[in-house]
């Protein structure tokens, strides 16, 4: 699929190539590019599924964050649906996971894939739902749509999400009907509630910098239950595109957008956000578009999305100024366009807080790494390939088949327990804290231990130095093996490749001393290599993205 000229993308790419001047001309310029390899590692940790030696070298040679982003947006999209269609009948969950991990580890469009993963944790659908578990073409199509729209306009993304049959199933909008008291039918409020609360504006009115507006010490609601009921009436009369009658159990197209059935649509007048009235007797499609316009233009949308995307990519506790600068880009990309997601992404990754927050606010900046990202980071850092025993060339971990990775780490792509995602964006660091650490809510003692055990097995048993033909993915440690004669260089190399901030000197020196204490024989060199890698990966410093 060619997405080089998505909605608004051509204009914003031109702005980026020119340095993408901020909306506010008094805003100080952002850092142009990496000055050290650690700068490159930090940026790539935020923008990809993990830095590799090649990607670090490429960014250092390019010398420009702007240009790197431009080149990423110009790459073709790695799509999961064709991958699954070529290998499955669409009812097997494992194949979708194989495709996801293939693109996460080897996809050239790393930024777009990382963005799709971030958006999938805002527009949540999950194949833990029974019907969706058997609808993998639809699940893939939904994820691919997020990847494609990640450089488009949010208004278009919002409509495509709304009318996607996978979302229709997950939040029960498909076959939602107008009220019929005689049959005890009333419009389903599920999608109407979540599109407001979780997808676009949140529960409370927000300032442009994302802070909650209060009155008399209490948060001011962004809407009320009556508003949800009115939107639920808007979202009536939509069905699968292939259904022959409204409740057709035999035809349930999970790929193509839902289509309207006017006889089941509520045609009464409705009052939406900020008192906006939708006149009576409108067809389902124009009314839905008017309702989505009403949501899209709400002042909360920019800061609400800015904060969540920053949290997924850069830091859990962005300053109000950072949120507002990104929200400003959502509101106006510099050409008068609202909702340009390419511009929003650029603003997030090149903001001075993203690039220098680790030094200017070290106690506040950063985030706990999502468990999935710990594994993708290790696999990409050491150029992992499928094991020789993987018949179809798929990636899998050393402890579980890749579709069951959530049993080990507590997380898997589009496998959240509920529409609230794997964790809430406002989960506190600890009770009473004004800092949040969303990912900590799934880092249970069991999951931390099982994740470290999985990484231990990967590093010590499944490398290019092993000769068995089992299925788990193999990491390439030849470069590190060559460094084993120089313990300090080996440890520093592993720290640079795997961490986004220096290891404390006492920890680094202890690891160097341990590696140096091992013999320099061939077996000793292998032990030096694996101990150095695991000494970094198994440390608490690998849990944190700074």
Query: Encoding tokens for residue 518?
Result: 């091992």
Give the strand pairing for 277-278 and 270-271: antiparallel
Query: What does the pLDDT read at residue 30?
Result: 55
3-state DSSP assignment of residue 545: strand
Going by C-alpha positions, the residue among 220, 164, 161 that lies closest to residue 195 is 161
Burial of 263 (0-12, 13-18, 19+ CB in 10 A): exposed
User: In this structure, what is the dihedral angle of CA atoms 190, 196, 202, 207, given to the nearest 10 degrees?
Assistant: -170
The model's confidence at residue 366, banded by pLDDT at 50, 70 and 90, is very high
pLDDT in tens, 55-71: 999 999 999 999 999 99
Give CA 531 to chain center in angstroms: 31
Query: What does the pLDDT read at residue 443?
Result: 86
The model's confidence at residue 444, banded by pLDDT at 50, 70 and 90, is confident
The model's confidence at residue 114, banded by pLDDT at 50, 70 and 90, is very high
Query: Encoding tokens for residue 395?
Result: 């990636």
pLDDT in tens, 513-545: 999 999 999 999 999 999 999 999 999 999 999
Cα distances from 95 to residues 129, 391, 488, in angstroms, run: 17, 13, 42
Query: What does the pLDDT read at residue 399?
Result: 82
pTM of structure: 0.94
pLDDT in tens, 20-47: 443 343 444 456 899 999 999 999 999 9
DSSP assignment string, 113-150 = HHHHHHHHTTS---TTSHHHHT-HHHHHHHHHHHHHHT
Checking if the pLDDT of 4 tops 70, the result is: no
Going by C-alpha positions, the residue among 457, 469, 455 that lies closest to residue 381 is 455
Place of tokens 């406002």: 426
Checking if the pLDDT of 9 tops 80, the result is: no
Checking if the pLDDT of 465 tops 90, the result is: yes
**Taking a C-beta distance cutoff of 8 angstroms, is the pair 231, 195 a contact?**
yes
Checking if the pLDDT of 246 tops 60, the result is: yes
Query: What does the pLDDT read at residue 27?
Result: 45
Checking if the pLDDT of 17 tops 90, the result is: no
The model's confidence at residue 15, banded by pLDDT at 50, 70 and 90, is low
**Taking a C-beta distance cutoff of 8 angstroms, is the pair 440, 427 a contact?**
yes
> For residues 118 and 312, what is the distance between their CA atoms, to the nearest angstrom?
6
Query: What does the pLDDT read at residue 5?
Result: 37
**Taking a C-beta distance cutoff of 8 angstroms, is the pair 405, 376 a contact?**
no
Checking if the pLDDT of 75 tops 70, the result is: yes
Give CA 326 to chain center in angstroms: 17
Our CA angle for 376, 381, 387, nearest 5°, is 70
Query: What does the pLDDT read at residue 29?
Result: 47
Mean pLDDT of all residues in 112-121? 98
Mean residue pLDDT of the chain comes to 93
The per-type count for the chain, helices as H runs and strands as E runs, is: 25, 8
In the chain, where are the structural domains located?
Answer: 16-152+298-360, 170-277, 367-545
Query: What does the pLDDT read at residue 283?
Result: 98
pLDDT in tens, 159-204: 999 999 999 999 999 999 999 999 999 999 999 999 999 999 999 9
> For residues 365 and 313, what is the distance between their CA atoms, to the nearest angstrom?
12
Place of tokens 């995602």: 421
Cα distances from 512 to residues 81, 97, 417, 485, 542, in angstroms, run: 46, 38, 42, 12, 17
Mean pLDDT of all residues in 404-432? 93
Going by C-alpha positions, the residue among 306, 326, 313, 305 that lies closest to residue 500 is 313
> For residues 211 and 320, what is the distance between their CA atoms, to the nearest angstrom?
7
Query: What does the pLDDT read at residue 16?
Result: 53
Mean pLDDT of all residues in 468-480? 94
Mean pLDDT of all residues in 378-384? 98
User: Which has more confidence, 134 or 400?
Assistant: 134
> For residues 333 and 476, what is the distance between their CA atoms, to the nearest angstrom?
42
> For residues 325 and 119, what is the distance between their CA atoms, to the nearest angstrom?
20
Query: What does the pLDDT read at residue 59?
Result: 98
């Amino acid at each position: 699929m060619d997405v080089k000229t998505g909605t608004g993308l051509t204009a914003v790419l031109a702005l980026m190539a020119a340095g993408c001047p901020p909306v506010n001309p008094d805003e100080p310029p952002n850092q142009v590019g990496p000055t050290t390899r650690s700068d490159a590692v930090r940026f790539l940790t935020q923008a990809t599924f993990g830095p590799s030696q090649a990607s670090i070298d490429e960014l250092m040679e390019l010398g420009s964050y702007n240009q790197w982003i431009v080149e990423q947006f110009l790459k073709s999209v790695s799509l999961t649906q064709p991958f699954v269609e070529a290998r499955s009948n669409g009812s097997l969950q494992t194949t979708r996971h194989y495709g996801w991990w293939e693109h996460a580890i080897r996809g050239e469009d790393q930024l777009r894939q990382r963005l799709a993963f971030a958006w999938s944790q805002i527009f949540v659908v999950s194949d833990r739902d029974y019907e969706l578990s058997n609808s993998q073409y639809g699940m893939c199509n939904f994820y691919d749509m997020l990847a494609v729209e990640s450089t488009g306009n949010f208004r278009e993304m919002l409509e495509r999400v709304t009318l996607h049959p996978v979302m229709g199933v997950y939040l029960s909008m498909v076959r939602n009907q107008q009220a019929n008291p005689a049959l005890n039918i009333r419009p389903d409020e599920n999608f109407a509630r979540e599109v407001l609360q979780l997808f676009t504006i949140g529960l409370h009115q927000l300032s442009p910098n994302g802070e909650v507006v209060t009155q008399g010490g209490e948060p001011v609601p962004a809407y009320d239950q009556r508003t949800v009921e009115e939107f639920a009436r808007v979202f009536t009369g939509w069905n699968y595109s292939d259904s022959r009658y409204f409740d057709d159990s035999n035809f349930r197209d999970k790929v193509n957008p839902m289509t309207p059935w006017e006889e089941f649509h509520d045609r009464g007048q409705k009052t939406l956000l900020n008192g906006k009235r939708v006149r009576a007797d409108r067809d389902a499609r124009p009314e839905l578009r008017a309702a989505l316009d009403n949501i899209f233009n709400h002042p909360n949308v920019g800061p609400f999305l800015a904060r969540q995307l920053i949290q997924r990519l850069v830091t859990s506790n962005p300053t109000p100024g950072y949120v507002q600068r990104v929200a400003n880009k959502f509101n106006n990309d510099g050409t008068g366009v609202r909702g340009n997601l390419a511009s929003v992404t650029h603003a997030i990754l090149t903001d001075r807080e993203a690039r220098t927050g680790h030094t200017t606010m070290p106690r506040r900046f950063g985030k706990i790494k999502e468990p999935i990202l710990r594994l993708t980071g290790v696999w990409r850092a050491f150029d992992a390939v499928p094991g020789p025993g993987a018949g179809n060339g798929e990636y899998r971990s050393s402890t579980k088949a890749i579709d069951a990775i959530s049993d080990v780490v507590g997380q898997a792509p589009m496998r959240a327990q509920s529409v609230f995602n794997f964790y809430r964006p406002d989960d506190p660091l600890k009770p009473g804290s004004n800092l949040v650490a969303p990912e900590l809510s799934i880092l249970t003692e069991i999951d931390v231990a099982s994740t470290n055990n999985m990484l231990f097995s990967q590093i010590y048993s499944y490398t290019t130095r092993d000769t068995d033909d089992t299925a788990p993915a193999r990491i390439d440690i030849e470069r590190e093996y060559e460094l084993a004669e120089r313990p300090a260089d080996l440890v520093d190399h592993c720290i640079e490749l795997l961490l986004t901030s220096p290891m404390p000197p006492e920890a680094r020196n202890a690891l160097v001393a341990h590696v140096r204490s091992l013999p320099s024989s061939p077996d000793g060199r292998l032990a030096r290599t694996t101990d150095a890698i695991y000494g970094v990966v198994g440390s608490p410093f690998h849990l944190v993205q700074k």
